[in-house]
Structure 1
Amino acid sequence: MEIKTRQHVPDEEEEQPLSPAARLFHTSEFNLNIISVIGSKSKINLDMIIRGSKESCIKHPRFSSRLVNDNRQEQKWVRTKVVAEDHVTIPKIELENASADGFLESYVSDLTTIPLDTSKPLWEVHLLDLKTSDAENVVVLKIHHSVGDGMSLMSLVHACTRKTSNHDELPSLPNENRPSSKSMAGHSRLIWMVMLVWNTLCDALKFIATTMFLKDTDTPIKGDFRLSKSKRMCLVHRTVSLEDIKLIKNAMKMTVNDVLLGVAQAALSQYLERRYGEKEKKTGEPKSKRNSSNMLQEIRLRACLLVNIRPTTGDLANMMAKGSKCKWGNWIGYMLFPFSLALHDDPLEHLRRVKSIINRKKNSLEALLTFTSTKILIKLLGVVTAASLTSRTISNTTMSFSNLVGPNEEVSLFGHPITYIAPSAYGHPHALTMHFQSYMNKMTISLTVDPTAICDPHQLCDDLEECLRSIKAAVQERSATQ
């Protein structure tokens, strides 16, 4: 199964220096990795995986280059001969009294404690002959974040998969329509530009304040990255209906990402209310909904909302090809998104509050600012100082949040039909990371947590699922009354 794209010419790119973001991700403050758990509908055939890897991803420079430090301590990608079999692991599985789902979570958690072998290109494939509750077998893909970001990973998935309805066709993605000011009238466009400058200035000041002194409230989910840097992370996932999310999106005139933020805000409110309630129960303090609501409203809880800043996301399936307009690598900035925690009788209030915040955020260059400022810091102060400042900024917030768009229809990975895709990342100083990945008519929620801070991630998944149901019910009830 060969990628139907223009191929790279190896001699043109034998060596290439790491990008600023890639250098940052290799520092001790981060050492950032991506893990993607992919469920298969069929038993995994090793020969098909090896052959598919040789005909696809190995032809890309980042998957056939190893990391090298030269005499001047500069990091470079150097092309090398890749033996696909050296990157594939088939673990011995002994369930004993453990469940298959529990074994998968434990196995992936163990992977977060094992660094990638820098003598080879920085990627691994783990094939698990394990029948879980939602897959016949499981593929675990581990890639160092310096190789590429989430959009790059999805381009790899697109290049390596085909529609199950037609094995000769690449999968298709929903069209992404980005807002534009070109269609605005002169007066409206002037106001839009003034607000863009003002919002960006305000966000820049908040960004600086966060780096210097502005910290989130110490809640049970914030964790302490200084204590947990060397500890394992726990990864869990839950799949919900994408159609339910689209129903809410259309009824509330929002985007899918807006709905997901609203559901996350509602779930975090519910989860934290329970955690504080358990604490009050232990101390014998009286509990009331009013006290809980007031307590939640006093919490400052912000997420680093990851944003793709590529000028275009079209041509995604061809991103692995040389000359693609959609750039490979790490082209991500982030926004500091404040969650408005509260217990509302009307769950739609969470959506309204999120929409109000995100509409202002969309009229700001905050994501581009964070991306550019990191590059400037690395150039002026060096990667070590830049990593320290970036880590300080992120650690003063509570969590990370991202959303990736996947194929519209069922696809197969080297002949294996996929049931779900659950990507995540670890290495950054957050005890909680939420990733949302759409695929067919499903949305998979992936949580990466520090178990010393969040010992019950499945409960948080339950809260996310329950809040989605309650918001959908409220939307349907509102539509019925109207």
Structure 2
Amino acid sequence: MACPETFSDEPLTPAGGFFFSRKHIVIHCTLRGKNPADIDAIKSAIKSSLMVQHPRFCSLLVHDKKGFEHWRRTQIDIDRHVIVINNRLDKSGDFVFEYQGSTAEEDDEAAVNQYVADLTVSCPLSMDKPLWELHVLMAHKCAVFRIHHALGDGISLMSMLMASCRRTDDADALPRMVPDKRPEIKGGKGREWFWLFGVLWWFLKMVLFTLAFSMEFVLKTFLFSDEKTVITGGDGVELWPRKLVTAKFLLDDMKAVKRAVPNTTINDVLLGVVSSGLSRYLDHRTPNGLREGLRMTGVAMVNIRAQPGLQDLSKLMKNKSEARWGNKFGAILLPVYYHKSGNDPLEYLKSAKATVDKKKHSLEAIFSYWIGSLVMSLLGSKYACMLNYKLLCNTTFTISNIVGPLEEISLAGNPLSSIKVNTSSLPQAITMHMLSYGGKAEMQILVAEDIIPDPQFLAKCLEDALLEMKQAALRTYNSL
């Protein structure tokens, strides 16, 4: 597939330059098929997809005489982007040349996870071709889509993936997605004064929360860091060897927990699970070694497009669209607190909901986006990346959640059994990315193995935290 070469170079945007720091940030999307991969079908699907029509996916990153970075259109050689791995991998990520029959599904998943974990620290994307590639692991019926974060954020890239997929129950239909919902202020007839008072109170709280959280964001970036624990990362940790594990949740379980507290969302449940799970893990690693209520801070990425949720790809590719292709997200700080075992599991959920409700009522995400853009514009990517790196070093973990398709889907004619995402190593010791698909929510947990020597136990702590919350929720229903 050839891209026209008559276009002039396009400067790298401030948001794009943000991801060319001391270590390039790469998104990994693992797609597991139900059938063996057909390489010819995959290449044909890529050649006919909207992806290779997008300028970012058929451009090289080049430097001009002044050292400024630009995108330059080039020819795409599909064979260089599709990397086929025929040999089976073992749980340590090494090739197995003498395969002795079938392996357990857990071992198969562990082998793929370790392969991806090794990619995050040892295999940067080659700069002499457009910054994406597809690794097809034939023996494991899966593929790993690697995309440089400068090409787009999770919403853009998931929208592009969904545009290339079809529903398994209707080969001509695109996957259906569930958009996020934002709260609305509603008034009633005959209550104008009450409605006006409500609007003023809502606006006042938004201003106060925005000021408080923005100040906290600045202080956390420059001055204050989380207290040190056995799960704390720091400067240089992004270069350490990694392990990747998967925590698996049922969406029905998360919905059961959600109903236990009015007006709760799946994101509230997720943060409550993380808070409870990390407390469980720390109890195991350092029993009686931490003070009650110790704060750990997570960094969460928030889509700030005018239209939330996954977008129609045609809208994202329009230059003047409010949806906007690329990186359009801000960051918010999500505190979680350590509590010794024995507390009411739903207290974690109530605390998480209170935190998230205040965050949603503020403009912290927009503030972080614009302050990053301002620093990029005035001082350049070097200083913006330094600030971002400092923030990550001063916090404990990164977390994100993307809503997947409602029904099962297929790619290049192959039904997908799972979709999982993660990003390359950050200076934190723990990064967590959850994506829901087919009634399940799978969280990829990427850890620095020298800091988190037992990542599978960490995943189990998170899974057990949800189950314990579900049992507490069912007890709440029965008592009503």
Cα deviation 1:120-155 (Å, max 9, x = unaligned):
000010111234xxxxx1111111110111111211
Indicate the residue corresponding to 1:232 in structure 2. Answer: 241
2:177 to 167, 173, 176: 173
2:384 to 373, 377, 386: 386
Q: 1:212 to 1:314 in 2, by over 3 A?
A: closer
Q: Does 1:34 align with 2:34?
A: no
Distance 1:145 1:174, change over 3 A: same
Q: Is the 8 A contact 2:179 2:308 kept in 1?
A: no
User: TM-score normalized by structure 2?
Assistant: 0.90
> Which position in structure 2 is the counterpart of 1:322?
318
Deviations 1:300-333 (A, max 9, x none): 2100011111111367132554355421111111
1:27-176 matches, cutoff 5 A: 27-28=21-22, 30-56=23-49, 57-91=51-85, 92-93=87-88, 94-95=95-96, 99-112=107-120, 113-131=122-140, 137-176=141-180
**Alpha carbons of 1:205 and 1:314: their partners in 2 closer, same or farther (altered >3 Å)?**
closer
How far apart, in 1, do the equivalents of 2:391 and 2:466 lie? 31
* Contact persistence 2:398–2:431 (CA under 8 A): yes
Cα deviation, 1:408-467, whole Å, max 9, x if unaligned, reads: 000001111111111011243211111110112110111111111112111111111111
> What is the distance in 1 between the residues matched to 2:422 and 2:339?
27
Provide the aligned length of Structure 1 versus Structure 2.
453
SS of 2:355's equivalent in the other structure is helix
Contact 2:258 2:266 in 1 (8 A): yes
Q: CA deviation at 1:232?
A: 3.1
Shift of 1:265: 0.5
Q: Counterparts of 1:346-357 in structure 2 under 5 Å?
A: 346-357=344-355
Give the counterpart of 2:328 among 326, 331, 335: 331
Q: Report the TM-score, using the length of structure 1 for normalisation.
A: 0.90
The 8 Å contact of residues 222 and 398 in structure 1, kept in 2 or not, is answered as yes
Partner of 1:3: none
| Letter in structure 2 aligned against 1:102 | A
Q: 2: distance between equivalents of 1:410 and 1:153?
A: 19
Letter paired with 1:155:
S
Corresponding position: 1:276 with 2:286: yes
2:408 pairs with one of 398, 404, 410: 410
Partner of 1:288: none
What is the aligned counterpart of 2:214 among 194, 204, 226?
Answer: 204
Larger CA deviation: 172-181 vs 10-19: 10-19
User: What are the ranges of 5 or more consecutive residues in structure 2 without an aligned counterpart?
Assistant: 89-94, 188-193
Match of 1:282 in 2: none
SS of residue in 2 equivalent to 1:222:
coil
The Cα shift of 1:16 comes to 1.7
Distance 1:166 1:411 in 2: 9
Cα pair distance change 1:265/1:54, threshold 3 Å: same
1:233, distance to aligned residue in structure 2 (A): 2.5
Q: Mean Cα displacement is larger for which, 318-327 or 172-181?
A: 318-327
Amino acid at match of 2:416: I
Residue deviations 1:69-126 (CA, integer Å, cap 9, x gap): 1111111111111011110111233435894333222321221211111110000101
Which one of 391, 394, 397 corresponds to residue 396 of structure 1?
A: 394
Q: Give the CA deviation at 1:175.
A: 3.2
Q: Is the 8 A contact 1:340 1:353 kept in 2?
A: no
Distance 2:286 2:265 in 1: 32
Aligned partners of 1:196, 1:271: CA distance in 2, in Å? Answer: 35
- Provide the residue aligned with 1:255 in structure 2: 265
Residue deviations 1:361-399, cap 9 Å, x none? 111111111111011111222221221122112210111
1:428 and 1:371 mapped to 2: Cα distance?
A: 19
CA RMSD of aligned residues (A): 2.1
**Structure 1 unaligned spans of 5+:** 1-8, 132-136, 278-290
